[in-house]
Structures are given as C-alpha cells and as structure tokens.
Structure 1
Amino acid sequence: KDAGGGLYILEATVTISNNVIVSNTGGTTRPGYGGGIYARGGSVTLSHNEIASNTAGTNGFCLGGGAYFDGANAALLHNTIMSNTASFWDEG
C-alpha cells in the first residue's frame, strides 16, 4: 500500500505526543491512505499533535488525508487536525 507519508504503524501499540506531522503524502503511484498517519491494527493514542496539510495521495481513490486507521483502535486527545486532503473522502 501507498500509505502513511508521515508515519506507518503496523500492528503496534503506540503513543504519539507533542509532534508536528505536516506536508506528507500517502501515495503517488497508487491510491493512497493516511497522508500524515496510517495505522493498521494495534492501538494508537495521539495526543497534543498538529496534523496539517497532508494529502492521502495523488492517484485516484485516496482516503484519510490527515490520518487513516485500518482496524486500529485509536484515541485522539487534544490534537489540531486541519487542512488535510483526500481525493475521495475522509480528509481529516
């Protein structure tokens, strides 16, 4: 998959705090997922991050400009998520 331009998380338990995840692209040659963050499975906690100006991809069916959670348990606490784009849906 073309996914996770900023972070690609696979079947892990992680906490991501106090980061700036900006201006990433999930995919350019195939449909993209999670321009800023892509997480598949596992458990993800995001707190006090800025996730902005990311794009899921540039080729077709793209999901999750800022973040895309594929079967992952996600907790989002006090983040700024803005100005992300996806060509199909789920721009946040």
Structure 2
Amino acid sequence: MPKYVIEREIPGAGDLTPETLQEISQKSCSVLNELGPQVQWVQSYVTDNKIYCIYIAPDEASVREHAEKGGFPANSVAEVQTMIDPTTAE
C-alpha cells in the first residue's frame, strides 16, 4: 500500500499545547475509524508552523478525504517513492 507525506501549514503549530495536540490527534483517529482500516496514520512531526504527517493509504484521494472530514489542511500530499537511510550508503 502506498505511503504519503502530508504537509499541513498550521501557523504556530510548534506552540500548540499538549492538550491541543491531543484533541487534534483524537479528531484524526475518529475520522480514521470512520474511513476504515485502509487509511492509517503512522506518525507526525510538529515544526514551528507546519505538521508533517506520514500516512499509509490506497490513494491520495483517501488522504485528502481524511483531511477534509477532519478539518485539517493538506497543503501538499506526496507519495513516497522509496526510502533511504544511513544503511543505504553501505
């Protein structure tokens, strides 16, 4: 199943409280439960003004549907073509 990187522009994301991040996470999980097991949230990285999310989904439309139903921005959705890490150099 394809993996996607979603860029969400959220001004002040890095200043969100743990409680707010928990609320956002709960909303995301609620929408994921509604969509079914084919869309999976792997993890997210919070920066100053953006949140980068890793999802597994059958297609980009499913990722965008999750964003729309959850009220989250999905400013950029990119399918991961391959992964590399330090062991790639060996």
Same fold (TM > 0.5): no
- The structure number with the bigger radius of gyration is 2
Structure with the largest fraction of strand: 1
Task: Return the TM-score normalized by structure 2.
Answer: 0.23
Structure with the largest fraction of helix: 2
Task: Return the TM-score normalized by structure 1.
Answer: 0.23
Q: Which one has more relative contact order, counting CA pairs under 8 Å at least 6 apart?
A: 2
